[in-house]
Amino acid sequence: MLVSAWLNTSKDPITSNQQRFASFWGRIAKYFAQCPNVVGRPKREASNCKQRWGRINDLVCKFAGCYEAASREKSSGQNEDDVMKLAHEIYFNDHGHRFSLEHAWLVLRYDQKWCASTSIKGNGVKRGRASVKDAIDVDEPMPRPPGVKAAKGK
């Protein structure tokens, strides 16, 4: 729920990132409180959401690196499950504990922040940033989101 709240708040084309730090996390806490799954649970303040997101973000970024390393080691005949299993093994070997936020990573993995940051040329040399198209393996490029002025104009 917190991941969804962060994604929806940070991708708001009208407000965008033109807001104060406390306002941003206040909006996330408000969105989180409106989720139907939190009915009957204690209310989370903006600072609670910020701290939890910081932990989720840190662990998901570390796992994204492990997944990218596992993807590079993918050999013929391996499927997505084999890559995930190898990514979990790499994460465990590097950090000494199991990755328990796979559900959050599955939601965040196609967001622009967590898409592959490098691409590999045919000869194995890394070059620049990969596009979202390369990271998702889709034939059509993703449409660019509208800018703040265009969204406000609508």
Would residue 151 count as lying in a domain?
A: no
**CA 65 to CA 110: how far, in whole Å?**
14
Domain carrying residue 81: 2-112
Total structural domains within the chain: 1
Would residue 138 count as lying in a domain?
A: no
pTM confidence score: 0.64
Would residue 104 count as lying in a domain?
A: yes
> In 10 A of CB 63, how many CB atoms?
25
Would residue 148 count as lying in a domain?
A: no
Dihedral of CA 13/15/19/24: which sign? negative
Encode pLDDT of 91-122 as tens digits. Answer: 999 988 899 888 888 888 877 666 654 344 34
Would residue 89 count as lying in a domain?
A: yes
Task: Give the per-residue pLDDT at 8.
Answer: 76
Would residue 149 count as lying in a domain?
A: no
Q: Which regions of the chain are under pLDDT 70?
A: 13-18, 21, 112-144
Would residue 118 count as lying in a domain?
A: no
